Amino acid sequence: MKNLARKNGKKDLVVGNISADLIMSNAGKGLENITSEDITIPRLAVIQSNSPQRKKKDEKYIEGAEEGDIFNTVTGEIYKEPLTVIPCAYRKSYVEWIPREKGGGFVQAYDMRPSDTTTDPATRKSSLKNGNQLVDTAEHYIIIRKDDDTYESAVLTMTSSNLTVSRKWNTLLKMKKINVKGQTIDPPSFMYEFTLSTVEATNDRGTWQKYKIEEIGQLDKKHLFVAAGTLSKSVDTGKVKASEHATDVTNEDSETDF
């Protein structure tokens, strides 16, 4: 447990009998050779009514998790309040899943839709010749802006009904124009920040929670703009990758069965 010792009117971090000065003199040690290529960016997901994160006997249980909460699939952190996010990069992929009745699970992701894909016009589900399901997946690489203007990176994964949310977000960003030094240009996506929350959705198959994106305005902090630009470049050049697709979160609506 962390202990705070007060010194000269300020709080200095002390862990056990390890002084703040000793911690400072070793800042970053052991991490020198870790680059962006050696880490993955956590994904965000939404707690649904029957998600394992809400079941106390399930090993994936997260204390305090409630329907509609957004959470980090790597750390398990729950975000109770709407998040302020900065869009940095976007990727579209086609993810192959084993159907739930056959055990479920992630297989692989494709940059292009496989040629043997067929789509059922009644259910709108796509599948491959091997019987596995293929899901159109939008990945938004974002920075989460915290109240103290620190930040963390994450991937916002959208499928099924959330693809409509993704398309609207992308359309809004593509329509943006700004005037810089007398020239009208397309601003970078990370020129703007948005509120990310969830809302309830319903169809004839059931009720679930989906994402809601609302614009806040232009970003006003240089360090966040620079960090977002760095993340954008890293995604474009393939130097960073998202964590594995979560297989322990109930699908976002009742249209998918993996």
What pLDDT band is residue 2 in, cutting at 50, 70 and 90?
A: very low
**What are the CA-CA distances from residue 21 to residues 17, 26, 99 (Å)?**
11, 9, 55
Q: What mean pLDDT, rounded, does the chain reach?
A: 86
The fraction of the chain above a pLDDT of 70, given in percent, is 88
**Residues 237-246: pLDDT tens digits?**
888 878 777 6
Query: What is the model's pLDDT at position 36?
Result: 66
Q: Which amino acid is at 114?
A: P
**Residues 60-104: pLDDT tens digits?**
888 888 999 999 988 899 998 899 999 999 999 999 898 878 888
Question: 43 with 74: CB under 8 angstroms?
Answer: yes
Rounded distance between C-alpha atoms, residue 131 and residue 208, angstroms = 26
Record the tokens describing residue 11, joined without a space: 């709080």
Mean pLDDT of 216-242: 92
Question: 82 with 73: CB under 8 angstroms?
Answer: no
Question: 231 with 241: CB under 8 angstroms?
Answer: no
Query: What is the model's pLDDT at position 144?
Result: 97
Record the tokens describing residue 120, joined without a space: 């059922």
Pick the closest to residue 150 from 248, 84, 230 (CA basis): 84
What pLDDT band is residue 257 in, cutting at 50, 70 and 90?
A: low
Question: 19 with 7: CB under 8 angstroms?
Answer: no
Query: What is the model's pLDDT at position 21?
Result: 87
Record the tokens describing residue 54, joined without a space: 């809400």
- The pTM (predicted TM-score) of the whole model is 0.82
Pick the closest to residue 82 from 164, 198, 208 (CA basis): 198
Containing 200, the helix (H) or strand (E) segment is strand 192-203
What pLDDT band is residue 206 in, cutting at 50, 70 and 90?
A: confident
Sequence-ordered list of residues with C-beta below 8 angstroms from that of 4, at least 6 positions apart, any chain: 11, 12, 13, 14
Containing 2, the helix (H) or strand (E) segment is none
Record the tokens describing residue 74, joined without a space: 């790597």
